[in-house]
Amino acid sequence: MFGSAVTIAALLTLIPCLTEAFVPGKEADVTKSFPTSVRLFVPAVLCVPYLLVACSSGIFHWGWLALYALLPVAVSILMLQATRVDPDQHGNWRDFLVLAILGVAVDLRWFEHAWPAHLVVFNKMLLLDAGIYGFLVIRQIDGAGFDLRLRWRDLAVGLREFAVYAPIAVALGLSIGFLHLHASWPPLRSFAEASLFTFFFIAVPEELFFRGWLQNLLERRIGRLPALLLTAALFGLSHWNKRTLHFNWRYVLLAAIAGIFYGRAWRQERRVGASAIAHASVDTVWSFWLR
């Protein structure tokens, strides 16, 4: 069981993400009347979840507290500068720098040592919060599609892309030895719980990053198809070190192909919910029957 400090930290971590997901634009509306200096330093409060967890776990370190306070502020400053020099949102080098820093920090697990091993998900979610504040509150990037008030159309598009990708993935994955069939049928409750966890804590953060922000911005620089393919390739490469100590080319290949279908789901109506449904469906089926 988690203690009260961890529970409060989890709520504080989820509030920025869930507010933007279910009441899009609310945070921007609330903060737009703030002085610029205040708007820029608001995300420093993202250090509070670390403070609560670290103190309750006996692993507090001033350096980590400073990181979780100052990194979100640095993101906000860069996003404000990008807004001023690129008001038409064609994609500025600052946008891609922030994406690179956040993406590599998560992928290489730079900051996970700040957390107890069973609570490292806090790192990913806090960096996501920093990105949400920077891109959606300060930069107010158009067309990200971060709206989790799901529609039937999101389900239809997401499951369509899953259905098209699944036979390709199964045939290729079995042939290269990455996938392995399992005949057991999980309890319905376990499958439902895994689906929800995967959707909210794996699919949504990754789809917002890769499709809502990266593919979205790349489309403005290099066009729809090149952006789709480049984002899918980068998504695949982000899996190079998963489940292995070496370059996992099989995982990279399957993930890159999956990224094409996730990207198609997102760009259909520019909805993160649709691509997250496709993503979560793939990951859940894989974890229960093909891992």
- Residue 243, pLDDT > 70, answer no
The C-alpha angle with vertex 284 and arms to 278 and 286, in degrees rounded to 5, equals: 100
**Using CA atoms, how far apart are residues 180 and 245, in angstroms rounded to an integer?**
20
> Which range marks the domain in which residue 272 is found?
152-290
* Alpha-carbon distances of 29 from 25, 60, 137, 212, 277, rounded to whole Å: 6, 34, 8, 20, 28
Q: What is the pLDDT of residue 288?
A: 87
Residue at 147 is within a domain: no
**Using CA atoms, how far apart are residues 276 and 151, in angstroms rounded to an integer?**
13
The domain total for the chain is: 2
- Percent of the chain's residues with pLDDT above 90: 88
Give the phi and the psi of residue 94 in degrees, each rounded to 5: -70, -35
Query: Which of 106, 147, 119 has the alpha carbon at shortest distance from 17?
Result: 147
Statement to judge: residues 133 and 170 lie in one domain:
no
pLDDT digits (tens, 9 = 90+) for 168-204: 999 999 999 999 888 777 787 888 999 999 999 999 9
- What phi-psi label fits residue 179: left (phi over 0), alpha (psi between -120 and 50 degrees) or beta? beta
Statement to judge: residues 128 and 156 lie in one domain:
no
pLDDT digits (tens, 9 = 90+) for 44-99: 999 999 999 999 999 999 999 999 999 999 999 999 999 999 999 999 999 999 99
Q: What is the pLDDT of residue 149?
A: 96
Residue at 223 is within a domain: yes
pLDDT digits (tens, 9 = 90+) for 106-144: 999 999 999 999 999 999 999 999 999 999 999 999 999
Statement to judge: residues 282 and 247 lie in one domain:
yes
2 pLDDT tier (thresholds 50, 70, 90): low
Place of tokens 């389900």: 155
Place of tokens 């980068």: 234
**Using CA atoms, how far apart are residues 269 and 38, in angstroms rounded to an integer?**
35
- Residue 8, pLDDT > 80, answer yes
Q: What is the pLDDT of residue 19?
A: 95
| Average pLDDT rounded to a whole number, residues 22-50 | 94
Statement to judge: residues 128 and 224 lie in one domain:
no
Q: What is the pLDDT of residue 52?
A: 96
| Average pLDDT rounded to a whole number, residues 22-44 | 93
| Average pLDDT rounded to a whole number, residues 219-240 | 96
Q: In 129-153, which positions are buried (b, 16+ CB within 10 angstroms) versus exposed (e)?
A: bbbbbbbbbbbebeebbbbbeeeee
* Alpha-carbon distances of 169 from 23, 50, 157, 176, 259, rounded to whole Å: 35, 39, 18, 10, 12
Domain boundary among 138, 172, 206: 138
Statement to judge: residues 17 and 132 lie in one domain:
yes
